[in-house]
Amino acid sequence: MKIVYPPGVPVLPNLRCRQGLEVSQCVCAPAALHLWQTRRLQDLGYRLKRILIKMGSLNIRKQARFKRKARIRKKIFGTSNKPRLCVFRSKKHIYAQVIDDSIGNTIIAASSMEKTEDEGIKFENNIARANFVGKLIAERAIEKGLKSVVFDRNGFLYHGRVKAVSDGAREAGLDF
């Protein structure tokens, strides 16, 4: 019996399922997919651990955000049917991306730095700008045929500008 993998899931050689068979010969497809996701999470954990080790010079707030990010990314995984909406917040700007983790590609991106069609838009504060970015990314996602996403706050607290991006995306018709 041959496994039918979900679209975008690569077949990794040298992996064995619970029964000791190679993944390509395994009968239990969920076990094979579980092994693949475990391998991806281990790789992610390794990269984040390397970042945390190098973070001796980073401040405590940034270290705490990286730890929260690692905890969140263990549970959140975007697929081609339901990709991940990732938000990054800097001091001045806010960025949002829709990412398909099964192939590792960014599908759509939007930020507060972009020039829009209406150059004369003035925002009264950063929360209004973040709300606009959420609406912008939702419109682009709906144009591409995506109606639902998984929201990734990227280690930031769900408050203020991060919440405004999600509210703007929900207002524009994105489900999560």
Indicate if 21 and 37 belong to the same structural domain: yes
Torsion angle in degrees (nearest 10) through CA of 36, 83, 146, 159: 160
Q: Are residues 26 and 100 in the same domain?
A: no
Are 87 and 67 in the same domain?
no
Q: Is the pLDDT of residue 86 over 80?
A: yes
Backbone angles phi, psi at 26, to 5 degrees: -70, 145
At 88, the amino acid letter reads F
Q: How far apart are CA 114 and CA 140, in angstroms?
A: 14
Same domain? 101 vs 70 = no
| Tokens describing residue 18 | 């619970």
Boundary residue ending a domain (75, 99, 126):
75
pLDDT at 1 over 90: no
Provide the residue range defining the domain that includes 174: 77-176
The pTM for the full model equals 0.67
Question: Within this chain, do residues 64 and 12 fall inside the same structural domain, yes or no?
Answer: yes
Total count of domains within the chain: 2
Q: Which of 43-47, 79-83, 96-100 has the highest mean pLDDT?
A: 96-100
Q: What is the DSSP string of 116-160?
A: -S-TT---SSHHHHHHHHHHHHHHHHHHHT--B-EEE-TTS-SST
**Structural domain ending residue among the three candidates 46, 75, 104:** 75
Domain stops at, among 56, 75, 94: 75
Where do we find the tokens 């069609």?
A: 117
pLDDT digits (tens, 9 = 90+) for 156-170: 999 999 999 999 999
